[in-house]
Structure formats: structure tokens, C-alpha cells
Amino acid sequence: MDENTSFSPVFFSMLPFYASFIFIYAGTYFSHLLSGILLLTSYLYLKKDKFLIAGALAGLSFLCEYNLAIIFMVWGIQIIFLSKRRFSKVLLWILSYFGIVATFITKATASF
């Protein structure tokens, strides 16, 4: 890049960001992005067999968007059928998922 231009290199590096959908949603709050990130992170921890963290992230993702309850029911059934003799780890996922959801719902309804 020529040093005599009046445009900053930062401007050119930000052009792909301005043309993406992320920039459109950055000005307003939609829970799709946050719930998607939490859902993906939960799935990655689930693949690493870290069920406690995966369940907590799944619960946080559910709290962002209630439509994701269907995904977690399917995940729960898959975990139960695919994990042979590891019911304690499945129980960790279920308890951390419902623990996050129950804690938030009781705190949110107790404040009214």
C-alpha cells in the first residue's frame, strides 16, 4: 500500500466486516448470534466429553432462545443412546443444563 494515500489501512481491513451480516446485527440486539455461539461452544465441549461445561453452555443458550429446547432434547436422547455405561456423565450434562435454567428462572420470577 502506498504511504501517500489518505485512507488508513485500518479502513481497508474493516471493509469485509462492514459488508457482512454481523455488522448489521451489531447495532441491534438479536439473540440468534449469542445463542448460536453458545450452542456451538456447547457442542464442542460435548465432543470433548466435558459434560458439565457443555450442559451449562447449553442451558445458557436455551435461555437466549427458547426454540433451542428441541435441539437439547435430541442431544439428550443421543447422549443417552451413544454413551454406554457412562450414565454419570450424562447425568452431569442433564443436571448442569437444568441447573442453569432453573437458577435463572427462579431468580427472574423472584424479583417480581
Q: Where are the domains of the chain?
A: 31-110
Could you tell me what percent of the chain has a pLDDT over 70?
Answer: 70
More confident residue, 54 or 22: 54
Phi, psi (degrees; rounded to nearest 5) at 8: -80, 145
CA angle 52, 58, 60 (to 5 degrees): 105
Q: For residue 35, what is its C-alpha cell?
A: 445463542
Question: Which pLDDT does position 19 carry in this prediction?
Answer: 65
pTM of the model: 0.65
pLDDT given at position 105: 79
Query: What is the tens place of the pLDDT at every residue in 26-78?
Result: 556 667 778 888 888 988 888 888 888 888 888 888 888 888 888 888 888 88
Residues 6+ apart with CB under 8 A from 27: none
